[in-house]
Amino acid sequence: MSAGKKRDQIRSASVAEIDLSALSHNLRQVRKRIGRREILAVIKANAYGHGAVPIAKFLAGKKRAPGVSLLGVAYLEEAIQLREAGITDPILLMTGCPIEQIPEIVRYQLTPLLFDSESLIALSRYAVRRGKRVKVHIKLDTGMGRLGLPVSEALPFIQTATAQKGIQVEGILTHFAEADLKDLSFARKQLEALKQIWTALQKAKIKIPYCHLANSAAIMHFGSAHFNLVRPGLMLYGYSPLEEESKIDLRPILQLRARVIALKKVPAGTSISYGRTFLTRRESLIATVAIGYADGYPRLLSNRGVMIVRGQRVPVVGRVCMDMTMLDVTDVPSLEVGDWVTVIGEEEGQAVWADELARLAETIPYEILCGIGERVTRIYKTREA
């Protein structure tokens, strides 16, 4: 069934159509750049708004998406959601190992990040009591200032961890602060810091399978940072994080549509929405569309946003409300209540993608995608390209 037909059968007011063949395409773009290195697919934050369980199921199906070795989420709840949906692939918990969560981390066979001795000792003791060996990745802070051990403490910590019963150190990692910039000088310093530790470990004959730091930006334009595992997020969903224009063929995998729920002809001088920030200059046809900031359409797009209606780009007028947004559709012929408009996506040769909305809303495509709300029904097109 076509996405359009599927959408028409849905009662909800807004629908995100997710094209899994585009996800495969983007994954192939990652593969092209990394050769035989392995992939940790970052699917935290509900797979950047795309729906973590269906995306994980698709990526985890080895036949469809060969080469994804691990999945990455931020928090325990996200990992449990995946396990309860039947996903058995390795899952990296990318924010740490809170001591109170250790029983569930072990029960659900998750791989936490470690960067403090208290968690290391508590995890080791718990694992030993249960007769388990828990895989962990050790995080170093090489310049992000967020999570991780200072580089000066890394070696002794890793040595202690590798000797600890019940623990298997499967990886070491760090995270770039600005690999998206053209100027990679700070990123190079971070890379050097990780390399030094990795080399020292090899000299000390401490064998750890993975060393990783490459996010989408580094995968795309910083080949020397690929090590043996990369962690793409945004590029899987079809967008480039790079400051400069990217030459990589990425395909946005999500299109977002919402229904027109009211249409009204109003005279010149009519005010639209809260605060009366827009006044019609002519007799106008105003469409009220069923999407608002509660669905992730940013309020900063008030009087700035653009949607596509019957193949025409039309402006958002007045303030974006919680559940609705108004458009000036005076020049759009034969629009009816119940019709769909394109909020993110393409229609009849016109397009509005999340990176354009991000620019208009003074943010980044990550925030636009992650913000897509729970009320939006997600449907998945599974046909391979």
Ligand X SMILES: Cc1ncc(COP(=O)(O)O)c(C=O)c1O
Residues noted as catalytic: 44, 274
Q: Which of residues 66-105 bind ligand X (CB under 6 A)?
A: 94
Q: Cα(56)–Cα(59) distance, rounded to whole angstroms?
A: 5
Residues 6+ apart with CB under 8 A from 276: 318
The reply on whether position 241 binds ligand X by CB under 6 A is yes
Name every residue whose Cβ is closer than 8 Å to that of residue 152 and which is 6 or more positions away in sequence: none
Query: What is the footprint of ligand X within residues 166-195 (CB under 6 A)?
Result: 175
DSSP 269-338: T-EESGGG-EE-SSSEEEEEES--GGGT--GGGTTT-EEEETTEEEEB-S---SS-EEEE-TTSTT--TT
Residue 51 in contact with residue 18, Cβ under 8 Å? yes
Closer to ligand X at the Cβ: 127 or 213?
A: 213
- Regarding 164 and contact with ligand X (CB under 6 A), the answer is no
What SS3 state is found at 35? coil
**Contact between residue 278 and residue 264 where contact means Cβ atoms under 8 Å apart:** no
* CB-nearer residue toward ligand X: 74 or 300: 74
For ligand X, which is the closer residue by CB, 188 or 310? 188
Figure out which of the listed residues 49, 96, 171, 232 binds ligand X, where binding follows CB under 6 A.
Answer: 232
Residue count, binding to ligand X (CB under 6 A): 12
CB of residue 381 vs ligand X: minimum separation in angstroms?
A: 22
CA dist., res. 335 & res. 332, Å (int): 7
Stretch that binds ligand X, among 8-16, 163-171, 227-235, 336-344 (CB under 6 A): 227-235
Question: Could you say whether residue 226 binds ligand X (CB under 6 A)?
Answer: no
Q: For ligand X, which is the closer residue by CB, 94 or 361?
A: 94
* Given 111, 215, 280, 342, the residue binding ligand X (CB under 6 A): 215
Least distance between ligand X and beta carbon 65 (Å) = 16
Question: Does residue 37 bind ligand X (CB under 6 A)?
Answer: no
Sign of the four-CA dihedral 45, 48, 53, 58:
negative
Contact 113, 74 (CB under 8 A): no
In the bound state with ligand X, the residue whose beta carbon lies nearer, of 51 and 232, is 232
Of the pair 233, 305, the CB lying nearest ligand X is at: 233
Shortest gap between Cβ of 273 and ligand X (angstroms)?
A: 34
CB of 97 vs ligand X, minimal distance in Å: 15
> If DSSP codes are grouped into helix, strand and coil, which group holds residue 232?
coil
Q: How far is the CB of 178 from ligand X (least distance, A)?
A: 11
Give the SS3 label for residue 265: strand
Q: Which residue is nearest to ligand X (CB)?
A: 233
Binding site for ligand X (CB under 6 A): 42, 94, 175, 215-217, 231-235, 241
